[in-house]
């Protein structure tokens, strides 16, 4: 009975969101890790790369970003004439907080000939100190597009080490990491493989090198959707945040998706509820904005990122 009331309540909230969205001329951008009821109200559901591109090109005056802070901030930087809302401003990314602009300036002073490649999971201040941004979908392509032979890569050490496998450039990794992907171990993956010997293993490049060594495919979150759609396999072990599996199970009900660890849950990605989206659309708050003196540098790095095609 309670489940039914819950469902009806969710339906009412979703209807109210639809009405407010039309009234305000808003578009709702949703990351693949968001809870299913938020995924269901998306105008676009995708990974960091596709959502950044959509933010830069949408006609809507108002963007409601259902993801974490750096994603809404990137949207605000790429679409300075639009209003960008993050329904829960406390939805942050611990990895993004692991790099600061003063510490990056210090590292740049020690590597004067190096260029800076900055994972999009970072603050606007750090982006403004960087030559180019990348997402998990185009990190390798971005690294190889640079003229410099030495690259500082912030903040994700695991993604830096992954990109290093595909380039002769010298990458100096920052010491940041995603606490969720970093916790997931090679032993857990081995155990999942043993339990599902016929399964193919896909993992996110934020995983540690020993996990990546055991994977069949290393993919961004939208890359995982494409893989599930195209690969002639029935069982897939998915080494990334569990919200991804909710989308995969919904879109490919004839396939089996296995979560190889119970630590793959990003609490920040689960903060936004339907009621937060309603409140946000009603009040047109909280607005995410970036002072232009920081935004201009961050925009240069983000726009350059968008010129480099995704490969995973």
Classify each residue of 218-243 as buried b or exposed e, where b means 16 or more C-beta atoms within 10 Å of its C-beta.
bbbbbbbbebbeeeeeeebbbbbbbb
What would the two tokens of residue 263 be?
A: 């630590």
In terms of CB distance, is 98 or 101 closer to ligand SF4? 98
In terms of CB distance, is 65 or 114 closer to ligand SF4? 65
Distance of closest approach, residue 56 Cβ to ligand 13P, in angstroms: 15
- For position 73 contacting ligand 13P by CB under 6 A, the verdict is no
**Residue 268 binding target from ligand 13P, ligand SF4, none, CB below 5 to 8 Å by type:** ligand SF4
Judged by CB under 6 A, the residue of 27, 32, 123, 280 near ligand 13P is: 32
Distance of closest approach, residue 202 Cβ to ligand 13P, in angstroms: 12
Cα–Cα distance between 49 and 215 in angstroms, integer?
A: 22
Cα–Cα distance between 134 and 101 in angstroms, integer?
A: 17
Q: Which residues contact 91 (CB under 8 A, 6 or more apart)?
A: 67, 68, 69, 268, 269, 271, 272
**Residue 94 binding target from ligand 13P, ligand SF4, none, CB below 5 to 8 Å by type:** ligand SF4
- For position 268 contacting ligand 13P by CB under 6 A, the verdict is no
- For position 52 contacting ligand 13P by CB under 6 A, the verdict is no
In terms of CB distance, is 125 or 241 closer to ligand 13P? 241
**Residue 135 binding target from ligand 13P, ligand SF4, none, CB below 5 to 8 Å by type:** ligand 13P
Of the candidates 120, 164, 158, 123, the residue with the CA atom closest to the CA atom of residue 144 = 164
Classify each residue of 47-66 as buried b or exposed e, where b means 16 or more C-beta atoms within 10 Å of its C-beta.
bbbbbbbbbbebebebbbbb
Q: With residue 258 as reference, give the H or E element that holds it.
A: strand 256-258
Distance of closest approach, residue 99 Cβ to ligand 13P, in angstroms: 14
Please report, as ranges, the residues that interact with ligand 13P according to CB under 6 A.
Answer: 32, 47-48, 121, 135-136, 178, 204, 206, 220-221
């Amino acid at each position: 009975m309670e489940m039914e009331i819950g469902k009806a309540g969710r339906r009412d909230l979703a209807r109210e969101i639809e009405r407010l969205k039309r009234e305000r001329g808003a578009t709702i951008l949703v990351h693949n890790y968001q809870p299913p009821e938020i995924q269901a109200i998306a105008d676009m559901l995708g990974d960091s790369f596709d959502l950044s591109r959509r933010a830069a090109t949408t006609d809507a005056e108002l963007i409601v970003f259902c993801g974490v802070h750096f994603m809404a901030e990137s949207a605000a930087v790429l679409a300075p004439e639009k209003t960008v809302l993050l329904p829960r401003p406390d939805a942050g990314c611990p990895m993004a907080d692991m790099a600061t602009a003063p510490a990056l300036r210090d590292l740049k002073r020690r590597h004067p000939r190096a260029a800076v490649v900055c994972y999009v999971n970072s603050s606007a201040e750090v982006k403004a100190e960087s030559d180019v941004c990348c997402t998990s979908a185009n990190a390798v392509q971005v690294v190889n597009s640079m003229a410099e032979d030495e690259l500082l890569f912030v903040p994700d050490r695991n993604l830096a080490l992954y990109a290093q496998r595909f380039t002769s450039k010298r990458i100096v990794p920052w010491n940041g990491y995603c606490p969720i992907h970093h916790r997931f171990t090679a032993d857990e993956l081995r155990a999942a493989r043993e339990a599902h010997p016929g399964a193919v293993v896909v993992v996110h490049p934020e995983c540690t090198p020993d996990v990546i060594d055991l994977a069949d495919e290393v993919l961004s979150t939208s890359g995982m959707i494409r893989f599930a759609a195209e690969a002639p396999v029935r069982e897939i072990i998915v080494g990334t945040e569990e919200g991804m599996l909710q989308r995969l199970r919904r879109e490919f009900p004839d396939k089996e998706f296995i979560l190889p660890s119970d630590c793959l849950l990003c609490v920040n990605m689960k903060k936004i509820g339907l009621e937060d989206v309603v409140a946000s659309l009603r009040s047109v708050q909280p607005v995410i904005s970036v002072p232009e003196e920081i935004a201009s540098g961050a925009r240069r790095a983000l726009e350059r990122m968008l010129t480099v095609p995704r490969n995973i």
